[in-house]
A and B are shown apart, each in its own frame.
Chain A
Amino acid sequence: MQRAIIEPNPTPPADSKAASPSKPGSLLQHPNSVAAEVRNLRKIYNVGSPQAHEALKDVNLSIRANEFFTLLGPSGCGKTTLLRILGGFEMLTSGTCRIFGEDVSRLPPEARPVNTVFQQYALFPHMTVRRNIAFGLEMLGKPKAEVERTVERMLDLVHMREYADRRPDTMSGGQRQRVALARALAPQPKLLLLDEPLSALDLKLRQKMRLELKSLQRETGITFIFVTHDQEEALAMSDRVAVISNGHLQQVGTPEDIYEQPQSRFVADFIGESNLIEAKVADSAGSEAAFDIEGFGQVQAPIGQRVEVGQQVWLSIRPERLVLGAVHREGPQATVTDRTYLGNAVEYHLRAGKHALTARSPRGGLRGRQDFAPGDAVSLGFEPGSIKVLLS
């Protein structure tokens, strides 16, 4: 097993400190190849004991090389477990786990071409920043000169040169985070695992680090597997996102896919906000179907898969795609129960029969002209294609 060693650039001229340490092109060594792949992965903690707990249930996942891939899900859903299995800190119960084509199920962590940024950073407290970053390189037996060169490059990469001789316990969360990143990147892993690396930072810093992480990933071309429970973070940074709930892989796709085409109630609800309405199929013809909603009326929506007349489904509509109008025609109606001013938008809470709905209208512009007050009766309109039909 060989680690991916990315040739360091020829020593950059002294004045080009801003230059990125490595050129993206030269690093894309496995275009279109698979960086990590898990098949039928199951993980049961404390197998055989009364406290046995199935943390991952038959997960299948394929992560492409050079991808910024995010594992997204609520706390306790198994994200860290999956990451620890990839890193070799936890044994899988059944299934296979391959990294760049090689079955790593039995490899100890140190033999995997994988580095990790830990949730609480886990910097070595007895070493300076410089020694922390050098650690991985020394373990690989790199010559001293190369270790020094790479460490300097990493210090620049994460803007920590001034702190090179400080110890981690004298630094802020953001600084430690950068050091952890530099330490993990220094040995040029093929795969970088990041376990909620931004969750300990305050909001401002978190937003800044999002951009930095993303551009760092592009610059180095290293495959990132990033874990978060923050859907906004996942949408903003990732090439693709895997949504996990309770040990089950719910959906994998680009941020747009995940947001626009949720395939289950869980995804529709967890990513952004959704109105979820129970409905029955009234009629189905080709790619379009009509749905009966109790106490509400009938709506039309495109369908991606076959449905049977009478089948129970869920309809999901984003609040911003629900259009309110004055009552002047036939069709679904609702009563405004609450109005919240949000600055750039107004949020209306509505009641239609037994259903509680939320609608959000932007301020200004054509749609924003009309305003409603609690108690008003309104007609409900749906933007074309805004209703998603969910079977589960």
Chain B
Amino acid sequence: MFGRSRLGGFFAGLAGLFLLLPLVAVIPFSFTPKRFLSMPDGEYSLRHYLAIFDPDTWLASIGTSTLVAILSSVIATALAAAFSIGIWLRRPASGRFLIGLVLLPIIVPPVTSAVALYFLLAQIGLLDTIPGLVLSHVVMIVPFSVIAILGALSRLDRNLELAARNLGASQLQSIFRVILPNIRFGLFAAWFVSLVMSWEESSVTLFVSGVNVITLPKRIWDNLRLDLDPAVAAISVIMIVATTLVILLRKSET
């Protein structure tokens, strides 16, 4: 409706500002010389940025989060690809039902999933372990991968698969040589979304880990609740900068 009008640009800018302001507001806090969260009054310090490199706390959590995010995003993408391609190829009568089932974690409240996963992991003895956490993250992020990959498949010409089979490719060959290469952007999108979702997952993480395995969101959470450590602000600034860089890089690519 606003199209390219000036008014439209103005409102878009206003909305952007509204969304960005809280992010920008955190920046000064990260430079405080004090050991609690506060506005710096004339004096600035980088001590909280250095604290991030403490191998026992922040750095360890960054490592844990990275490991969990990479493992769960790769596993989730592979599972989602297998599931979606199977549905796409076979078009079973129960297809809608199966998709609904896989998408459940999006629909049910996170606490419900969290409690369910808590009891599951307790049963199999994986509470508060990396494998247990990865398993939980996979369950939570697989729906998003499935959505991305099913979307890519819906734009794929079915005749491509028939053509491959017709030319002598087995089902597996046609998947690896024709289907997967043609949904590669969808796969990448699925993986990237999973990576981000796992990286920032907190609701289930709080239930199923926290003593031996502490992810970054969990540590931030603890600090905000108990410590008000300005390192949280420093971490936030770094994340904002990283995100902005990624967006800018992707922009300049296209």
Contact = CB atoms under 8 A, between A and B. Distances in A.
A139 B163 contact: no
B157 interface: yes
Contacts of B167: 110, 115, 135-136, 139, 183-184, 187
Nearest to B163: A122
Contacts of B157: 120, 122
B166 interface: yes
Interface in B139-176: 157, 159-160, 162-170, 173
Contact of A110 (B159, B160, B165, B177): B165
Contacts of B162: 87, 89, 109, 116, 118, 122
A205 interface: no
Contacts, number: 64
B181 interface: yes
Nearest to B159: A122
Interface residues of A, number: 25
Contacts of B164: 124, 135, 139
Contacts of A3: 168
B178 interface: yes
A304 interface: no
A115 B166 contact: yes
Interface string A84-103: 00011100000000000000
Given A122-B157, A122-B160, A116 B166 contact: yes
B178 A124 contact: yes
Contact of A124 (B160, B165, B166, B173): B160
B129 interface: no
A114 B166 contact: yes
A89 B161 CA distance: 10
B182 interface: yes
Contacts of A115: 166-167
A12 interface: no
A297 interface: no
Q: Which of A110, A119, A123, A184 has the most CB of B within 10 A?
A: A110
A116 B163 contact: yes
Contacts of B178: 124
A183 B164 CA distance: 11
A6 interface: no
Contacts of A114: 166
Nearest to B167: A136
Contact of B168 (A89, A123, A136): A136
A120 B159 contact: yes
A118 B165 CA distance: 13
Nearest to B160: A122
A189 to B, nearest CB: 9
Interface string B100-119: 00000000000000000000
B95 to A, nearest CB: 15
A61 B173 CA distance: 33
Nearest to B157: A122
A89 B160 CA distance: 12
B128 to A, nearest CB: 44
B182 A125 contact: yes
A187 to B, nearest CB: 6
A140 B166 contact: no
A110 B163 contact: no
A354 interface: no
A108 interface: yes
Interface in A152-190: 183-184, 187
B168 A110 contact: yes
A125 B161 CA distance: 12
A124 B174 CA distance: 11
A126 interface: yes
A110 B181 contact: no
Contact of A140 (B163, B165, B168, B177): B168
Contact of A109 (B165, B182, B184): B165
Contacts of A126: 181-182, 184
A193 B39 CA distance: 76
Nearest to B168: A139
Nearest to B165: A109
Interface string A105-134: 000111000111011101111100000000
3 closest Cβ pairs, A-B complex: A136-B167, A139-B168, A122-B159
Interface of A: 3, 87-89, 108-110, 114-116, 118-120, 122-126, 135-136, 139-140, 183-184, 187
10 contacts: A87-B162, A87-B166, A108-B165, A122-B162, A124-B164, A125-B182, A126-B182, A126-B184, A135-B164, A187-B167
